[in-house]
Structure formats: C-alpha cells, structure tokens
C-alpha cells in the first residue's frame, strides 16, 4: 500500500480525539490497578513502558475499525453529505484500495494482540465491526446499532486493559463489572451521535432512532440517562463530593445542550462533549485509587 493510503485513514491524524479517548481506559487501568484488584508492573519504568504499547494496540485496532466503517457504498453516500473530507468521498482513496488496506490491517491487529495482549479483544472487534458494517447491523435496527456500538467500545476497553497489565494478566471481577456499566452507559446514550447525521443517515436508508421516533423523544432519551449515569458512576466507586463534580457538571451540560440547542452544528459539538464525558467516566477508577 502507498503511504498516503494509510495516512489518509490514520486515526492518529484524522481522528485524534477517538484515539485519545479509547486509550484513556488502558492508561487508567495501568495507573489505578489497586482499585481494580489487578496489579501490573511493579517498577515505575515498567508502568511507563506500557503506555506506548496501549497506544499502539489502540491505534492499529482503531485503524481497522475506521477503514471497515468507511469503505462500503452506503458509508460513502452518507459521508458525501455529512463528512465530505473523508478519504473515500474526497476521492483520495478508492473502495478497492480500502479493501486491500484491510487485508493488511486485520492480521496486523491480531498479531499485535498476540504480542502485547488483547488478542481476544481484537477478534471481538473484528466480529462486531463485521456485524455493524458488512451485515447492516448499524442500519436496520437502532437498538442493535446501539448495542454494537457498546460492544465495540467495550472491546477497546478490554483490550487496552489487557495490554496495560500484560498478556499474562487475569482481569478481576471488578474490571468486568465496570466495563459492563460503561457498556450500559454507551448503549443508553450513544444515539446522540445520530442527531447531527440525520440527512446522511436518511440518504443511505438507515433506521436510526431520530428517523424512527423523531427529534424530541430522542433528545429526552439522551438527557435522562446522561444525568443518571453522571451520578451513578461516581457512586459506584464510592467517591467524595469532588469525585462527583466532573461527571455531573459535564453530564448536565450535555443534557441541557441536547434539549436546548436543537440544530445540527450544536449537536455535533454536544457529541464531542459526550466523548469528553466518557473520558471523565473512564477516569473515575483513578480517583478511587488515589482516594484510597
């Protein structure tokens, strides 16, 4: 493959917020292992040495997800309306070149998992990506779409945690419980991403929540769970008042913006705030670890 083909899709360049957000869980796991009941490298330099590995695992797996998500004909139609700067609608890459790129990325991501840890998560991501993109799971049913989003993001969390603690580590029940809670957070609020993309989703025939139920019900379906999880997640970690403030503050802003700022550009900003909010939730175990 030409270097320009890889860089056109590169999450490190084109999707930096996603790369950072998906790396946060592994970094938090590494730095707050006591809160999870799992212990990583004992030496400080042993801990620091795994941070680049977490980023590398996240990057290669995210690259595969990005290419798989954007290469299909329906995705190109949608992106021509919603995100025309992407490689395929902007004619910087052809669908066939994207397919060939995937032939290199998928085995590379699995081998990275075998060496660094997280191979099971890499395989899970491939399965969920295939269901989401190739089998139309993102198009036909809004609930399946939300669940697949939750499963995919949870797989990133599992993989990043396994890389953080090493390929021989055993994840504790606390890790599984926390990732399950985060999956519930995602599946109940991720429909927010569909609000700024209505025109593109309509053009490709997707049955997203806004297109089925209308604008107002979807906004309330984001607002109420966002406020609930903003309170429940710090409560789960038994944090003090300071630990509640970040998630409650940003969760309240998201809820207010979702209900008040009802136009596409504002929804796109609110979606970015949602990503930041998820990053704050990922940080809560670190606050619990420092408190103890």
User: C-alpha distances in angstroms, 172 versus 29, 34, 115, 243, 279?
Assistant: 11, 11, 21, 23, 21
Q: What pLDDT, on the 0 to 100 scale, is given for residue 18?
A: 55
Closest Cα partner for 133 from 210, 70, 199, 200? 70
Q: What pLDDT, on the 0 to 100 scale, is given for residue 225?
A: 98
* The residue to which tokens 């998630």 are assigned: 247
User: C-alpha distances in angstroms, 147 versus 154, 183, 191, 231, 269?
Assistant: 10, 8, 10, 22, 23
| Tens of pLDDT, residues 108-161 | 999 999 998 889 999 999 999 999 988 988 888 899 999 999 999 999 999 988
Measure the CA–CA gap between 266 and 259, rounded to whole angstroms. Answer: 11
| Tens of pLDDT, residues 166-201 | 777 777 889 899 999 999 999 999 999 999 988 888
77-104 average pLDDT score = 86
Tell me the HSE value of 45 on the side-chain side, using a 13 A CA sphere.
0
| Tens of pLDDT, residues 205-230 | 889 999 999 999 999 999 999 999 99
Q: What pLDDT, on the 0 to 100 scale, is given for residue 38?
A: 72
Measure the CA–CA gap between 42 and 172, rounded to whole angstroms. Answer: 18
User: C-alpha distances in angstroms, 165 versus 38, 46, 245?
Assistant: 8, 10, 29
| Predicted TM-score of the model (pTM) | 0.86
Q: What percent of the chain has pLDDT over 70?
A: 89
Q: 267, 9 in Cβ contact below 8 A?
A: no
The count of other CB atoms within 10 Å of the CB of residue 170 is 8
| 20: pLDDT strictly greater than 80 | no
Q: State the average pLDDT for the chain.
A: 85
Q: What percent of the chain has pLDDT over 90?
A: 49
Region of poorest pLDDT, from 81-95, 109-123, 230-244: 81-95
């Amino acid at each position: 493959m030409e270097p320009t083909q890889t860089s056109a899709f590169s999450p490190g360049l084109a999707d930096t917020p996603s790369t950072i957000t998906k790396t946060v869980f592994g970094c938090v796991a590494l730095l707050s292992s006591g809160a999870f009941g799992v212990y990583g490298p004992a030496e400080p330099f042993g801990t620091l040495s795994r941070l680049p590995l977490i980023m590398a695992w996240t990057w290669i797996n995210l690259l595969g997800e990005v290419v798989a998500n954007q290469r299909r004909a329906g995705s190109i139609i949608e992106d021509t309306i919603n995100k025309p700067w992407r490689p395929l609608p902007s004619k910087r890459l052809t669908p066939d070149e994207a397919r060939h790129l995937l032939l290199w990325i998928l085995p590379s991501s699995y081998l990275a998992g075998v060496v660094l840890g997280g191979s099971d998560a890499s395989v899970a991501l491939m399965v969920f990506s295939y269901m989401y993109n190739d089998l139309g799971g993102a198009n036909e049913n809004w609930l399946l779409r939300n669940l697949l989003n939750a499963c995919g993001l949870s797989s990133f969390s599992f993989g990043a945690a396994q890389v953080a603690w090493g390929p021989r580590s055993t994840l504790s029940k606390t890790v599984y419980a926390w990732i399950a809670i985060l999956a519930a957070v995602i599946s109940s609020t991720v429909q927010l991403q569909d609000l700024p993309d209505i025109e593109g989703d309509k053009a490709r025939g997707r049955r997203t929540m806004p297109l089925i139920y209308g604008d107002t019900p979807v906004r309330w379906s984001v607002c109420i769970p966002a406020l609930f999880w903003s309170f429940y997640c710090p409560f789960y970690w038994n944090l003090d008042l300071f630990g509640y403030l970040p998630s409650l503050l940003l969760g309240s802003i998201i809820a207010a913006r979702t209900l008040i700022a009802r136009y596409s550009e504002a929804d796109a900003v609110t979606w970015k705030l949602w990503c930041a909010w998820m990053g704050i939730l990922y940080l809560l175990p670190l606050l619990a670890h420092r408190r103890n």
